[in-house]
Amino acid sequence: MARQQDEQEIRWCSQRRFEAMARGDLATLDELLADNLTYTHATGRLDSKSPLLKDIASGRNQYESITAEEVGVRVYNAVGILTGTVQMRAKVQGQPRNHRLRFTEVYHKADARWQLVAWQSTVIPEG
């Protein structure tokens, strides 16, 4: 039962994060992202929490929508791993990006809350 609750909480955190990124909600992102975050963009660019939030705040990265599909969750004690795909619409330095991505997302539970510690995504080729 606790494992099922953890899975639901992790899914909820992931969905909240996607929504917060699309709204540019820095307060929610600050809460959901771990201070030691490793965020690997589909381009291969690596960010930590602070630069990621600065890029969203400045408008360098504008996430218009992020829609998750085919998401699976596995929980190992205080670690939750999500895998799946997302349809992501964004503007990066003013250039539109519309990609379907395959991702791995890792959450860690500390002090009774789940936070994102790692994100890795890869563009799914069309066709």
Reply yes or no on whether the pLDDT at 49 is more than 90: yes
User: What is the per-residue pLDDT across 83-119, written as a single tens digit (0 to 9) for each?
Assistant: 999 999 998 878 888 999 999 999 999 999 999 999 9
Count how many domains the chain has. Answer: 1
Q: Sort strands 61-76 and 79-92 into parallel, antiparallel or unpaired.
A: antiparallel
* pTM (two decimals): 0.93
CA distance 69 to 84: 6
- Cβ neighbours of residue 50 closer than 8 Å, sequence gap 6 or more: none
- Cβ neighbours of residue 118 closer than 8 Å, sequence gap 6 or more: 37, 38, 39, 40, 104, 105, 106
Predicted local distance difference test score (pLDDT) of residue 93: 79
CATH number at residue 47: 3.10.450.50
Structural domain boundaries enclosing 64: 2-123
The confidence band for 77, taking pLDDT boundaries of 50, 70 and 90, is: very high
Q: Sort strands 113-123 and 95-110 into parallel, antiparallel or unpaired.
A: antiparallel
CA distance 122 to 44: 8
